[in-house]
Amino acid sequence: VVLLVSVPVVRCDVVSISAHRDLPQKPSADVQACVSWMAHLMVRIQEEGSQISPWSLMACLLLQIPATVLTEQGLLWHRLTEKTLWLRRLALDFGAHLNWPEQIPDSDVLLSTLALHRTVVHQKAGRVFLVWGGEPEGRHPVSPEEGVLRTAAAALMLVSYRNQSLHVFVRPALLATAMSVTKSTERDDLLAYFCFLQDVFSNEFIFIPGRSSQDFEEAGYLLKKCKAVHISQQEVTVSDSGLEVLSFLQELLKPFINSYQLMFRYLCEDADQNFTEKQFLHAVRTLATNAVLSGELDTHEVLSSNVQKNVLSALQRLGMATKTKRSEIEEYKVDKAAVGRAGDVLSGKVPPQVLQATPAARL
């Protein structure tokens, strides 16, 4: 297989380097950009060649069910089976490689998959439940706060499996989310929000730098291929049969959007002028736990320390936060006004054009 790609050419001053070859050299900005580009490309190639398991598809669907349903009422098994088979067809439409056993009935494949992961979910009386520790032996009943954290631990196990297949759906999901949040059909508006989401979530997903327009085109092509949208020269509109696909894709990104919005709001309204990472993680954990208990937040992914740290990294990369070191302690300082604007764009209150330049939309 021959892979032809356009690689940025980095020119070096050979004389200068050879004259100082014994001294440690800090790579130039061009070299660092080239290395980063190649690293993203290699990971993206690995993603495209990876095989997706039935369990990863099931995890995608289970995480779109409210946690209270999975811990109390349970999800009907036949419903999960139907949706998983539907999602398999969508994944294949999107070009995924599936590790799905042949010559075995689909129902047996899914039952076997569920049995292999009985420490995460289990089936009882035709329903699927999230495994939750409940009341520990010899101890008093758990508090509501501890209950949230126990449910989060189980949900984050599902998240780790879901993430194995996110690369298949993320680009169409960005476009589906752009259509939902902006309430626009104009391709330029959709591209602007699409690029903004890529900028914000580039710590969560792999996007090759400089390929936002191509990713947008790919997303449009895949949604059109599965008959979810109609595309004209100027617009992208929902088809009559596209609501199920778009709804699934929007729900796939919803935990990330809700988690980032909560942390952006905290940083704007409650965070101190300077704070450490430890202080931030503790405050967000408390805030998120209370938000889940009150019903304000319906995702447990905000309790993931990786997601919390990714928010700080994203804000640094976007120039909305700085990290300094004082007395051997690293502290963050955020531009609250800029973070507030980013939060407004994320929720669709203001257009992303106020924050960034956008390449021309071509689908």
CB distance 130 to 67 below 8 Å: yes
Mean pLDDT of the chain: 88
Residue 5 has pLDDT above 50, yes or no: no
Can 51-135+145-162 and 251-346 be said to share one CATH topology? yes
What pLDDT, on a 0 to 100 scale, did the predictor assign at position 10? 41
Greatest mean pLDDT among 5-14, 207-216, 249-258 lies in: 249-258
CA-to-CA separations, 125 to 68, 78, 85, in angstroms, rounded: 18, 11, 21
Lowest mean pLDDT among 79-88, 140-149, 153-162, 299-308: 140-149
Q: Mean per-residue pLDDT for 115-120?
A: 95
What pLDDT, on a 0 to 100 scale, did the predictor assign at position 36? 72
Q: Is 251-346 in CATH node 3.30.70?
A: no
Q: Mean per-residue pLDDT for 66-90?
A: 97
Residue 360 has pLDDT above 60, yes or no: no
What pLDDT, on a 0 to 100 scale, did the predictor assign at position 230? 97
Provide the CATH topology of domain 51-135+145-162: Arc Repressor Mutant, subunit A (1.10.10)
What are the helix (H) ranges across the chain?
A: 14-19, 29-49, 54-62, 67-68, 77-93, 106-116, 144-162, 166-182, 187-200, 212-225, 243-269, 277-294, 305-317, 336-346
What pLDDT, on a 0 to 100 scale, did the predictor assign at position 133? 60
Greatest mean pLDDT among 16-30, 82-96, 121-135 lies in: 82-96
What pLDDT, on a 0 to 100 scale, did the predictor assign at position 141? 78
Q: Where are the domains of the chain?
A: 51-135+145-162, 251-346
Residue 58 has pLDDT above 90, yes or no: yes
| pLDDT tens digits, one per residue of 174-203 | 999 999 999 999 999 999 999 999 999 999
Rounded Cα gap, residues 118 and 153, in angstroms = 15
Q: Mean per-residue pLDDT for 154-176?
A: 97
What pLDDT, on a 0 to 100 scale, did the predictor assign at position 92? 97
**pLDDT above 90: percentage of residues in the chain:** 75
Q: Mean per-residue pLDDT for 206-225?
A: 94
The kind and range of the H/E element at 184 are: none
What pLDDT, on a 0 to 100 scale, did the predictor assign at position 83? 98
CA-to-CA separations, 238 to 45, 56, 95, 215, 227, in angstroms, rounded: 30, 27, 21, 19, 9
Closest Cα partner for 9 from 27, 33, 44, 41?
33
Lowest mean pLDDT among 38-42, 67-71, 92-96: 38-42
Residue 277 has pLDDT above 90, yes or no: yes
Q: Calculate Rg over the CA atoms of the chain.
A: 23
Rounded Cα gap, residues 298 and 301, in angstroms = 9
Rounded Cα gap, residues 71 and 122, in angstroms = 11
Amino acid letter, 47: E
Confidence of residue 209 (pLDDT cuts 50, 70, 90): confident
What sign does the dihedral 60-66-67-72 (CA atoms) show?
A: negative
CB distance 75 to 69 below 8 Å: yes
CB atoms within 10 A of CB 179: 25
Confidence of residue 30 (pLDDT cuts 50, 70, 90): confident
Q: Mean per-residue pLDDT for 324-334?
A: 90
